[in-house]
Structures are given as structure tokens and as C-alpha cells.
Amino acid sequence: MSKKPTISFWTKIRELSSWYFVFGLIISLTVLVFGLRHNNTVALKLKEDVVLADKQDKDIEGALLRLRTYVYGHMNTNLADGSNAIKPPIQLKYEYERLLAAQSAVAAKGQLPQQIPDSLYKFDFVSPIWSPDVAGWSMLLSIVFGLLLASRLILEYWLGQNIRRSQ
């Protein structure tokens, strides 16, 4: 590589400061953290709504639908994270107790009790790895700014070494 094109390219790269990428990375990472925290907080609130609806026997299906829709559409909304988390994370305890009571009432009239399947009162929803919300877009921006910063620093080092060798 001749010296003139290297120096010309070097001066163009030097005009693009690394600080632009550092500030962009810091801002996008900050937005990412707050976005992920918000997604998790809303998911936990919706989970509490499901538990409350189960306890009060009011619109359990609607509460589950709202929770499922939110979890499937947002990152960082897994409800079963952690080493000592309950699996599956949503268990409709009161709905199950009502089913058992109804089954006992039927059994008292002489019919054989039937086994109640787990799928009637246990739920688990898995969030996507990436979603097109604030957290998702800021994650994408963080990756882009990180790659641009790394590329800028590597290119600066490489061009500097190249110029020193050619002198």
C-alpha cells in the first residue's frame, strides 16, 4: 500500500471522532437498561393481575391473555428466571381448588372422580430474544455503536501501524 492513499484515508478516519460512538453507546445502553427493566416490571404486574383474578374468580382468561400477549411481544419478560424460581411460573391455585371442590361435589353423588389435568391451571410463557420495542431497538443501537467504536479503534491502530512502517 502506498503512503499517499493511506495518509488520505487516515485523515478522513481521524475526522470521525471515537467519542461520537462512545456517547452513542452510553446513551443506547442506558435506554436499554431502562427499557428491559420496564418490560420486566410490566410483566410482573400482569402476573399479579392473573393471581388476583384467580383468587377473586374474575376474568382469569382475560388476565392470562393480556399477560401472554405482553410476554410474547417484549424482551426480558420471562417469569421463571432465577435458580429458585417456581416452574411453571403461573399456577392457578384457587382455580384448581375450585375444580377439586366441584369434583368432590360430583363424587358425592356417586360418580367416579376424574383426574384433573395440570394444563388447566399451570402456564408458562417465554419472551422473545429480540422484540421491536424500546428495549429491542436500543439493544440494536448498542450493538451498532459498539461495532462502530471497535472498528474505528482497530482501523486507527492498523492505519497508524501501516503509516509508521512506510516511513
* DSSP assignments along 35-73, one per residue: HHHHHHHHHHHHHHHHHHHHHHTS-HHHHHHHHHHHHHH
Give the cell for residue 153.
Answer: 479503534
Give the cell for residue 8.
Answer: 488520505
Higher pLDDT, residue 124 or 13? 124
- What backbone torsions phi and psi does residue 101 show, to the nearest 5 degrees? -65, -40
Element (H, E) at 91: strand 90-91
Higher pLDDT, residue 38 or 6? 38
Q: What ranges do the domains of the chain cover? A: 3-89+124-166
Q: Of 77, 55, 82, whose CA–CA distance to 66 is shortest?
A: 77
**Rounded percentage of the chain residues whose pLDDT exceeds 70:** 83
Residue whose grid cell is 399451570:
122
pLDDT at site 10 = 62
Q: How far apart are CA 136 and CA 72, in angstroms?
A: 13
Question: Is the pLDDT reported for residue 49 higher than 80?
Answer: yes
Q: Of 13, 8, 19, whose CA–CA distance to 154 is shortest?
A: 13
